[in-house]
Amino acid sequence: MFEESIIVVGGGVAGLTSAALLSREGYPVTLVEAHTQLGGCAGTFQRGPFTFDVGATQVAGLEKGGIHNRLFHYLDIPVPKSELLDPGCSVVLGDGTEPINLWHDPSRWKKERQEQFPGSEVFWSLCSQIHKSNWAFVDRDPILPVRNFWDCSQLLRALRPPNLLTGVFSKLTISDLLKITSCQRDRRLRRFLDLQLKLYSQEPASRTAALYGATVLQMAQSPRGLWHLHGSMQILSDLLRNSFLRDGGKLLIGHRVTNIFNEKESNSFYVDIIDTRKNSIRLNASDIVFSLPPQSLLDLIPIDGGLSTTYREVINKLPKPSGALVFYGALSRSRLPVNCPNHIQIFDQHFGSLFISISMEDDQRAPAGMATLIASVFVNVDQWSNLDSQSYAKKKNIVGNKLINIINNHFDLQETSWVHHELSTPRSFARWTGRPGGIVGGLGQHPSQFGPFGLASRTPLKGLWLCGDSIYPGEGTAGVSQSAMMVVRQLMESKGRHLKIPVLNE
Ligand SMILES: Cc1cc2nc3c(=O)[nH]c(=O)nc-3n(C[C@H](O)[C@H](O)[C@H](O)COP(=O)(O)OP(=O)(O)OC[C@H]3O[C@@H](n4cnc5c(N)ncnc54)[C@H](O)[C@@H]3O)c2cc1C
């Protein structure tokens, strides 16, 4: 039925998850993906015998009760084979002290942090209380931020007394929690928190919302956990695509959306699309699920296309997310230390956080005896825009050398240790994912931006819905899957139907 035809824009994990859920529910859905490959920031690419994950390398939410696990069961697709990461990450503060290992077992992690940060237990206990109350809340599928009566009813349904108690922290930062618990003078703890939070919230402790930070700081511990996918990150997208196609979805791959226009009279949208051979197509839909960064709306919806000036202003004023530089290397496993953790975060004076992911033996990313090593840092995208090709090549060369030197120093490697290496910049991400300027991750999780205070999935333009890493609960494949489920629930409710996806905790 035309009234219910839906176009999902973007085939990253957010777009794929919403498209798979909607087609499972019987809606006619067309998913439009610009790249010739699905996955976006959680995609992969091949270099000879090596498979590299483009951006995301570790996955949350695969455990029972976790969002990927929950959605995969609902979609009736297998949960992909993966290894639990233990430690989830090994954090090197760069001050000559022992690395901090994020163990999966909560009591082992407690012992580790007590040894590493003596006297900080009161801070961790507070984080733990907030974390527990947050997860119970998230499992009850709240809608955030609230934009109408139904959203509000879903939020109230999810709230329990512990959430009202932790709600008093909603305007505080992680630094405030350190002050409350008299731990603000522990410089090592502060550096550790700054590093870890930058990874998940794009912000340091002084700017990360306490309620968000307390949760992500305990992602690696049971009953949650961080996982390493067998094969590559692409498996998430492949499985979601299979579910979508099995349920009758229409996939337009290598098709770029160039224009979205709302026709007031018919209360519907037309969407202009161009394929790789430059053929133009125009599709109609009652609803658009938009999974690209919201900043892209400004280019894709013309001034007279239905988006109000006020809303355009809201999007214009969003804080600019970071970009990333990613080093992709391959080397013999024998060059790496024995029992080297798969995920390492290093503090570096120049780049701040350097996050390293190393493939596992037999995980199909590298031939036997070889390993892939991916290292990423955050950068300001403005420093990479407007460079002519010569300045760009020069800058890329300089930072590439800086990065490889840090990695070589850390692992005691030589230039000759590498069988392959290359670097991607914000320009590469802009090309690969179509994200404006190469911005990655979502909006920073500052108290003024997170959860109830963030950008809503419901827009002022009826029928235009947002999901992805700028929408609650934020970045990461788990986060964007949660946002996709939320937007599908809202969209279905707008058509008089309800989606209830069971939580399988035991
Ligand atoms: C370096 C890096 C490391 C990361 N590490 C992790 C990690 O370890 N774990 C984790 O969980 N997360 C990690 N993340 C974050 C995670 O990858 C993202 O939050 C998530 O994958 C975003 O998914 P998305 O679907 O919202 O957006 P995207 O992945 O950006 O998908 C958007 C899709 O839209 C398509 N598109 C763009 N423009 C158009 C258009 N005009 N028409 C049609 N299609 C279009 C793109 O090609 C793309 O496929 C990392 C990200 C980066 C960059």
Helix (H), strand (E), coil (C) string for 57-110: CCEECCCCCCHHHHHHHHHCCCCCCEEECCCCCEEECCCCCCCEECCCCHHHHH
* Alpha carbon nearest to ligand 1 atom 49, residue: 40
- Residues within 6 Å of ligand 1 by CB: 9-15, 32-35, 40-42, 55-59, 256-257, 291-292, 324, 326, 376, 433-435, 440-441, 468-469, 475-478, 480
Nearest CA to ligand 1 atom 6: 56
Q: Which atom of ligand 1 is nearest to the CA of 258?
A: 41
The torsion angle over the Cα atoms of residues 82, 88, 94 and 96, rounded to 10 degrees, is -110
Specify the residue with its C-alpha closest to ligand 1, atom 11.
476
Angle at the Cα of 489 from the Cα atoms of 483 and 490, rounded to 5 degrees: 90
Residue nearest to atom 38 of ligand 1 (CA): 434
Residue 109 pLDDT more than 70? Answer: yes
Q: How far does residue 248's CA lie from ligand 1's centre (Å)?
A: 24
- Closest residue CA from atom 4 of ligand 1: 56
Average pLDDT of span 287-305: 97
> What is the per-residue pLDDT for 506?
53
In terms of Cα–Cα distance, which of 126, 130, 150 is closest to 138?
130
Average pLDDT over residues 247-253: 98
Contact 421, 50 (CB under 8 A): no
| Ramachandran angles phi, psi of 251, nearest 5° | -110, 120
CA of 431 to the centre of ligand 1 (A): 12
Name which residue leads in pLDDT, 441 or 104: 104
- Tokens (6 digits) for 292: 């690209």
Would you place residue 272 in the very low, low, confident or very high pLDDT band (cuts 50, 70, 90)? Answer: very high
Query: Which atom, in ligand 1's list, is nearest to the CA of 441?
Result: 19
Task: Note the CATH number of domain 2-41+70-81+229-318+441-494.
Answer: 3.50.50.60
What confidence score (pLDDT) does residue 2 get?
Answer: 40
Q: Cα(252) to centroid of ligand 1, in Å?
A: 18
Q: Residue for token digits 């499972």?
A: 24
Give the number of the atom of ligand 1 that is nearest the alpha carbon of residue 470. 26
**Percentage of the chain surpassing pLDDT 90?**
94
**pLDDT number for residue 503:** 86
- Could you tell me the residue ranges of all domains in the chain? 2-41+70-81+229-318+441-494, 105-221, 323-438
Q: Is residue 249 very low, low, confident or very high in pLDDT (cuts 50, 70, 90)?
A: very high
Which residue is associated with the tokens 């976790």?
Answer: 66
> Which residue has a Cα nearest atom 18 of ligand 1?
476
Q: What is the pLDDT of residues 212-246, one digit of tens each?
A: 999 999 999 999 999 999 999 999 999 999 999 99
Place of tokens 């695969």: 62
The mean pLDDT of 110-134, rounded to a whole number, is: 96
CA of 41 to the centre of ligand 1 (A): 3
Q: Stretch 462-477: mean pLDDT, rounded?
A: 97
pLDDT beyond 50 at 407: yes
C-alpha 186 to ligand 1 mean position (Å): 35
pLDDT computed for residue 435 by the predictor: 97
CA of 24 to the centre of ligand 1 (A): 23
What spacing in Å lies between the alpha carbon of 227 and ligand 1's midpoint? 18
The order of strands in the sheet holding 343-348 is: 100-101, 90-92, 343-348, 352-358, 370-379, 323-332, 418-424
| pLDDT reading at 1 higher than 60 | no
Ligand 1 test: best mutation among 82, 272, 292, 343, most atoms within 8 Å of CB? 292
- The DSSP string of 385-400 is TT--HHHHHHHHHHHH
Atom in ligand 1 nearest the alpha carbon of residue 478: 11
* pLDDT of 413 higher than 80: yes
Length of the chain counted residue by residue: 506
**259 in helix, strand or coil?**
strand
- Residue 180 tokens, joined: 């409350």
Average model confidence (pLDDT) for the chain?
96
Ligand 1 center to 23 CA (angstroms): 21
* Ligand 1 closest atom vs CA 429: 53
Tell whether the model's pLDDT for residue 505 goes beyond 70.
no
